[in-house]
Structure 1
Amino acid sequence: MGLKISFSSIVLLLLLTRVVEGQPGVFDVTKFGAKPDADIGPALVSAWKEACASVTPSTILIPKNNYALSQVLFEGPCKSSINFQIQGTVKASGDPSAFKANGPGLPGWVTFEHVDLLTVSGGGTFDGQGATAWSKNDCQTNSNCAKLPISLVFNFVTNSVAQDITSLNSKNFHLQVFGADNMTVQHVTITAPGDSPNTDGIHVGRSTKVTINDTQIGTGDDCISIGDGTQQLTIEKVTCGPGHGISVGSLGKFPEEKEVVGVFVRNCTLTNTLNGVRIKTWPASLPGSASDMHFEDIIVNNVGNPVMIDQEYCPSNQCSKKAPSRVKVSKVSFKNIKGTSSTQLAVKLLCSESIPCENVEVGDIDLAYSGPEGPPTTICSNVKPIFSGKQNPPTCVGGSQSS
């Protein structure tokens, strides 16, 4: 009986989710005038308006083919759920000036905003054509740099899923989740060269209950970056590399930042990344806090600084180090992190002189380093970690050892 129920449930699910041309509730962009190798933006916006107004669940379909796509904004609220199914490849304009920001933040190429019960899926590709813009990105040294677009933006989206899609060569971040509640990103592939600037794979900020699962990220900046206001974020089974690692922060740079509470990173693999798992805050920062952050069961392969708290984060000397960070970091654990470090300094716990880190646990660390300088090392500052289990490299002075 159990087998029959399972089989019938699968058949029913396939029937419900199958997208067929002409099926009621399916809005095929080719029926709205979309043509291969031409801009399908107007057709796609028209399809969205009809789907969003539907009182029954709808599917927007981009069939298999290659299309151009101008900057588009899909706004809710909508009257029912929407499955945005991209089976083909859409390509952004190569001209960075073709993208305009709606406010003080970065512009988006494809933006979903104020939508509930959204699914973006289909196996297709969003090609940001970032190579045309990367040479114009001087944000590391110029605070007034050009605002390049994020490829996929999910603003104030609730109860939604992004899955089985590819983001290729974004001009800026690949995917941003901001102001979201209960969103899942899974089975997503993110790809850009390791030297592409500011191409964070997934950036999460001011969101609650976001899950990133079973996702492959190789890019030129953080594979996943976690901004202020993030609460109850779960990251599992992510492969990262190339890239800059999985990072909380940087925090403390802007006024009125909200606290980070509840970050859980588990069962991830990082390969050939500049950093491993880290928490970073600016020196001379504005006040803030980050707590309840846990990194467990992490494999690192040739990764720089695999375990890191850095409260003196200051890339390209864009800040003053005359005052310590005022971001409070507490209740942090790094456990069962194993593999190889590309730097002699394998464990770096550099906390604020004015607000030392509290309740930091480091357990079962086994990191090998084969460089000419000698064995791997640990450094601690303004923190008294609780060490447990195996410690390779050896623990730093000032910590306590538990059994």
Structure 2
Amino acid sequence: MSRIKLSFLVATILTLLLLAFTVDAQSSADVVFDLEAYGNIVPGTDITTALANAWKDACASGRSSAIVIPGGTFEVREGNFAGPCKNRIDFQLGGTLRAPKALPGDNWIIFAHIDRLTVSGGGVFDGQGKEAWGKNDCHKRINCAQLPVSLRFNFITNSIVTRITSLDSKNFHINVLGCNNLTFHNINIIAPGNSPNTDGIHIGRSNKITITKSKIATGDDCISLGDGSRQIEVANVTCGPGHGISVGSLGRYTNEEPVEGVLVKNCTMINTTNGVRIKTWPGSAAGGTATDMHFLDIIMVNVGNPILIDQEYCPWNQCNRQVPSKIKISKVSFENIRGSSATPVAIKLICSRSFPCEEVKFRDIDLTPNGITGPITSQCTNVRPIVSGKQNPKICASPYQPPLNCSLNNSWNCSLS
């Protein structure tokens, strides 16, 4: 066979494979509800009503269905996409949905009570938050006005959110509540570092939530885990700017549920104010627990507070630090964490004097100073870490000897350079 004929045959096979993939992707749903069938869908127009009608029909379909939003930028005043639906449903966003600059309430787009939901398409949810950020006064008062969350996932099961971007949310980008077996994969979250309260993904009272292969740049926690977060896995996430990946804050409200089963691995923090942290309020409203939390294979690049347990978390002095936290932290591990610290105390473990931390383990920590003079140190209060492998900086205690420069008053209180 000649080289020309062989090249033609290869090209033909590749074309057929591409066509087969395209057809399969388009036909993965039995019924496609093209938004253009619900009105004059022209870029720049408001498609709120058309989206609501398409969702109503798709959700009522007994066959698997897909809503397809074409390329272009469209205005959406609000979106309330609720189930239960009769079959699985795909929400395919090809363009950009743009929120009003002024939006009442605390919601923009809500997906609720749906089983087997897919949100995908490569599109953008633009929260247009820049004008709203200046109205955020939560640093002044506890009961501040709540700005809208861009995307809420409430009571969603067996679902996936993939290949979407959340841009410039007014408040949290994504809020997850009461969900089970929900995956976020290949998500982009974008907001400047000075945008207040724009947590990337906040999870509460949810089970089996996975976040993988995503990039989060925002003005608050890249990922935050509230009470009731169970069996959470975060892997291959790049965070920065932002406040890092956090468990908490916990203990501010009554009737909070335990946090248990958290795994954060293979992540990179770049120029964040914190790395990985656990935070609870002093003067806790009620007791609680946070246990079985593991952080491994983390790269820190010029990160303030790379490793932090803070049981005196008290933003804007809106609490009483004299009353110790009632949240019990236990079974925590930090392993193979390396990179650079932008603050002198690279490892800070401030645990509750009423409920000292237990079973806090360190293995193979290698952090170096960046942009600061002198060595970096560790600080430990009301905790006796169990350490092995490399210790840079030296961590407050060893597995075989009592910690140095410590006093024992019902718990270990240590500070060691």
The offset of 1:108, in angstroms, is 1.7
Change (3 A) 1:10 1:388: farther
Contact 1:384-1:400 at 8 Å conserved across structures: no
Residue type of the alignment partner of 2:61:
S
Instruction: Find the counterpart in structure 1 of residue 271 from structure 2.
Output: 272
Contact 2:117-2:160 at 8 Å conserved across structures: yes
Q: TM-score, normalised on structure 1? A: 0.92
- 1:18 has 2:17 as partner: no
The offset of 1:299, in angstroms, is 0.1
Contact 1:352-1:382 at 8 Å conserved across structures: yes
The whole-number CA distance in structure 1 between the counterparts of 2:17 and 2:84 is 31
The offset of 1:400, in angstroms, is 2.5
Change (3 A) 1:308 1:74: same
1:259-298 matches, within 5 Å, as 259-285=258-284, 286-298=286-298
- 1:29 has 2:26 as partner: no
Instruction: Find the counterpart in structure 1 of residue 406 from structure 2.
Output: none
The offset of 1:395, in angstroms, is 1.6
The whole-number CA distance in structure 2 between the counterparts of 1:135 and 1:205 is 27
The offset of 1:15, in angstroms, is 3.0
Q: How many residues align?
A: 385
1:300-379 matches, within 5 Å, as 300-379=300-379
Contact 1:291-1:332 at 8 Å conserved across structures: yes
Residue type of the alignment partner of 1:324:
P
Change (3 A) 1:292 1:24: closer
* SS across alignment from 2:146: coil
Contact 2:335-2:363 at 8 Å conserved across structures: yes
Residue type of the alignment partner of 1:367:
L
Instruction: Find the counterpart in structure 1 of residue 138 from structure 2.
Output: 139
The whole-number CA distance in structure 2 between the counterparts of 1:109 and 1:124 is 16
The offset of 1:338, in angstroms, is 0.2
2:96 to 89, 102, 105: 89
Unaligned 5+ residue runs, structure 1?
A: 1-7, 101-106
Contact 1:64-1:88 at 8 Å conserved across structures: yes
1:75-154 matches, within 5 Å, as 75-95=82-102, 98-100=103-105, 107-154=106-153
Contact 2:302-2:370 at 8 Å conserved across structures: no
Q: Which has the larger radius of gyration?
A: 2
The whole-number CA distance in structure 2 between the counterparts of 1:245 and 1:385 is 22
- 1:43 has 2:43 as partner: no
The whole-number CA distance in structure 2 between the counterparts of 1:38 and 1:212 is 33
Instruction: Find the counterpart in structure 2 of residue 241 from structure 1.
Output: 240
Instruction: Find the counterpart in structure 2 of residue 103 from structure 1.
Output: none
1:137-286 matches, within 5 Å, as 137-285=136-284, 286=286
The offset of 1:36, in angstroms, is 1.9
The offset of 1:401, in angstroms, is 5.0
* SS across alignment from 1:132: helix
The whole-number CA distance in structure 2 between the counterparts of 1:399 and 1:257 is 34
The offset of 1:320, in angstroms, is 0.5
Identity of aligned residues (%): 55
Q: Deviations over 1:355-396 (max 9, x none)?
A: 000010011110001445410100011011100100000121
Alpha-carbon RMSD across the aligned residues, in angstroms, is 1.8
The whole-number CA distance in structure 2 between the counterparts of 1:10 and 1:180 is 35
Residue type of the alignment partner of 1:54:
S
Contact 2:223-2:244 at 8 Å conserved across structures: yes
* SS across alignment from 1:273: coil
Instruction: Find the counterpart in structure 2 of residue 389 from structure 1.
Output: 389
Q: Deviations over 1:66-107 (max 9, x none)?
A: 100111111100000111000000100001xx332xxxxxx2
The offset of 1:146, in angstroms, is 1.6
Q: TM-score, normalised on structure 2? A: 0.89
Q: Deviations over 1:234-288 (max 9, x none)?
A: 0000000000000000000011000001000000000000000000000111211
* SS across alignment from 1:263: strand
Change (3 A) 1:27 1:370: closer
* SS across alignment from 2:36: helix
Q: Deviations over 1:188-217 (max 9, x none)?
A: 100000000000000011000010000000
Unaligned 5+ residue runs, structure 2?
A: 1-15, 402-417
* SS across alignment from 1:16: helix
The offset of 1:39, in angstroms, is 1.3
